[in-house]
Structures are given as C-alpha cells and as structure tokens.
C-alpha cells in the first residue's frame, strides 16, 4: 500500500508546477526541516514553491537556507498542496481555508489521514526522515542545503538521537544526509544546544514553579512570564525536553498560556507509557512518548483537568507494572 501511495505522490509532485507547502503552528525543527527540505528540492526541480508556516520561522532556525522564503500566509494560485508533520488540519493554523490538501506526509500515530493522498509512517523518527527516504526515490536530488534542512528535522525530533524510536535505519539516513553535505555538529548545536538570553530567563520563570507528584513532574509558563522575559515565541522554548531529563520521573508536562483563553500542553513520557491517548482526549495528538494539545480554558482549569487525566494514565501504567512483577514472582516461586 505504501508503494502505491508513494507512486501517486511522485506523479503528483512531478506533474505540479505551483506547489504550496504547509506545516503546523509553533513549528519545531521537524516541521521546519521538512518544509524547507521538500521546498528546496521542488525549487531545484523547476517548480514554483510557496512555503507557509502560520507562526513564521523561529529565530533559532533562520540559519537554514531557504528560511527567508517562508511566509505566514499565501494567496498565490497553486495546483498542488502538501501538508507536512501535521496530525490534523487544525494544526496548520487555518492557512488552507476550506481546501482539502492533496498530500499529507507525517509520522504521528494520531494522524487523521485528511488529504487525498496520505503517506503516514508512525515508525519513522521524523517527517524529515520520511522525506530523506523518499525524495531520491521520487527523482529529487538531495544537495547540501536540503540535507541540512532534513537532518535538522531528524536531530530535533529525536532530541539528538536519544528517543526510544531511533533505529539503525534512522542512523543510516542521517549518515546519508551527512554524506550529502549536512553539518551534523553545527545542526545539533543550533537545534538543541543554543538558547537566547530571553529563552533562558523564560525557562527560569517556569523552573521557579516546578511541581512533582509521584513520578509526574510539571510546570507552567504564563503570558506575563513571556512578556517579562522578552521572549517572542508563543511556545515553551523547548523547556519540555529539559523537564524530561529529570531523574525518577515517568511523565513530564508543561502548560503554556496562550492568548484568547487557550493553553498549549506538551507531554513527554518514558518508554512504555503512551501519552498520545491522553493528548487525544483533549483534541491533540502526537507520539506515545511525546504529544501535545491546545485546550480552551484558563491556565488553572486546564492544569486541573489535564493533570487528573495524566495521573490516570500513570496509575494504569504503575498497576500494569506491578501486575507483571507479581506474575513473575509467582512463576519464580513455582519453580523453586
């Protein structure tokens, strides 16, 4: 089935002359890497390409070639639309209007298959990794700039090849991108290590109200925090990945207050715990170990509802682990 969809996407991209590429709001490294990687590849093949991110390109990724061509909106006439790294259309920020996308390429297990052609591969470590796999098969050359964009996506979504879904194939793809000219040390540094002074201040405000209960850790960032820090993004400045490194915690959650009475929630979980289902309960989605949702309500209201649902997931996991331990102990005793 994947080969049939791949062939259909190949034909659509080959025949198109004017292509719109869209990814999700609050774009991360994979959204940006996939957008620029595909966009530059299509441009090199002679296509007119419009790359759109509703929230624009974050400052930390403006070092990538092609970033200046990314816009907030586009009213250009097109004959093909591609959505990348989005589990549902709401995540695009409404930039497509009522138009059904022609192509949907993604790796989120909660993807709703909303396009005419859907290439959804939950086993892939990043949407950028899917493109790294298929672009050569579709006849598009991966040069240095495209390789840098795609490897940025892979490095970002695997948090530097640290996530549990990293496979030998993912490392093989990364090696191929390095062979094509990607600068791994520089991309790693830019995507995962460097932080602005404002982001550091912003983190400090979130860390000052850190909480934990059992094996769950959480904090929040308010609109006032963002204003005081001078942080221009409307995200958590990647603080959630730092929280996930705290010892003896199974789930980390961060609540980021948004305008118009909404709260962005991000979850991270240790292997064996699926937080995508709790995110899905609140209209979000993602992966078993990393998910998110944007929820209507005050910061206090959303925290209370989300923490209760997350504790339920954690308790279920704990009970399952204890049941397995009891079973193994019983088997061991019977063998004496």
| pLDDT over 80 (residue 17) | yes
**Domain stops at, among 143, 172, 193:** 193
Radius of gyration of the chain (CA): 21
Task: Name the residue range of residue 227's domain.
Answer: 197-323
- Token pair of 100 as six digits: 């059904």
- Using the predicted structure, report yes or no on whether residue 253 has a pLDDT greater than 60: yes
CA-CA distance, 55 to 46, in Å (whole number)?
Answer: 27
At 83 the three-state DSSP class reads strand
- 266 belongs to a structural domain: yes
Instruction: Note the Cα 206 to chain centre separation in Å.
Output: 21
| Same domain for 209 and 125 | no
Q: Count of domains in the chain?
A: 2
- Position 317 scores a pLDDT of 81
CATH of the domain at 8: 3.90.1640.10
Asked whether the beta carbons of 276 and 287 are under 8 A apart, the reply is yes
What average pLDDT score do residues 53-61 get? 92
Quote the pLDDT of residue 155.
Answer: 97
- Name the pTM for this structure: 0.87
Rounded-to-integer distance, Cα 135 and Cα 127, Å? 12
Residues 102 and 146 in one domain: yes
Residue 198 pLDDT exceeds 70: yes
**% of residues, the chain, pLDDT over 90:** 85
Candidate from 106-110, 303-307, 318-322 with smallest mean pLDDT: 318-322
CA distance 288 to 270: 9
Are the C-beta atoms of 228 and 201 separated by less than 8 Å?
Answer: yes
Q: What average pLDDT does the chain have?
A: 93
Do 164 and 63 fall into the same domain?
A: yes
- Interior angle at CA 225, CA 221 and CA 228, nearest 5: 165
Euclidean distance between the first and the last CA atom of the chain, given in angstroms as a whole number:
51
Under the banding of pLDDT at 50, 70 and 90, the label for residue 321 is low
């Amino acid at each position: 089935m994947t080969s049939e969809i791949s062939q259909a996407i190949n034909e659509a991209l080959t025949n198109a002359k004017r292509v719109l590429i869209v990814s999700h709001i609050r774009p991360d490294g994979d959204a940006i890497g996939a957008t620029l990687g595909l966009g530059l590849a299509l441009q090199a093949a002679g296509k007119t390409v419009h790359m759109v991110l509703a929230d624009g390109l974050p400052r930390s990724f403006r070092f990538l070639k092609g970033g200046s061509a990314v816009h907030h909106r586009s009213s250009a006439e097109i004959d093909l639309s591609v959505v990348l790294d989005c589990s549902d259309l709401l995540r695009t920020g409404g930039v497509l209007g009522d138009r059904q996308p022609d192509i949907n390429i993604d790796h989120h297990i909660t993807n709703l298959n909303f396009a005419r052609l859907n290439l959804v591969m939950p086993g892939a470590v990043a949407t950028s990794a899917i493109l790294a796999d298929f672009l050569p098969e579709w006849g598009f050359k991966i040069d240095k700039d495209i390789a840098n964009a795609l490897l940025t996506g892979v490095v970002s979504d695997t948090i530097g090849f640290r996530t549990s879904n990293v496979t030998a194939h993912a490392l093989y793809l990364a090696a191929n991108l390095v062979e094509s000219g990607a600068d791994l040390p520089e991309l790693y540094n830019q995507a995962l290590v460097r932080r602005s002074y404002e982001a550091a201040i912003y983190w400090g405000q979130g860390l000052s109200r850190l909480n934990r209960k059992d094996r769950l850790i959480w904090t929040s960032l308010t609109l006032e925090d963002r204003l005081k820090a001078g942080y221009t993004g409307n995200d958590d400045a990647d603080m959630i990945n730092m929280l996930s490194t705290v010892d003896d915690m199974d789930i980390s959650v961060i609540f980021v207050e948004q305008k118009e009475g909404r709260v962005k929630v991000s979850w991270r979980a240790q292997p064996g715990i699926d937080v995508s289902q709790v995110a899905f309960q609140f209209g979000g989605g993602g992966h078993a170990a990393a998910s998110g949702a944007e929820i209507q309500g005050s910061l206090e209201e959303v925290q209370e509802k989300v923490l209760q649902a997350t504790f339920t997931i954690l308790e279920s996991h704990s009970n399952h682990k204890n049941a397995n331990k009891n079973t193994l102990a019983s088997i061991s005793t019977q063998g004496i």
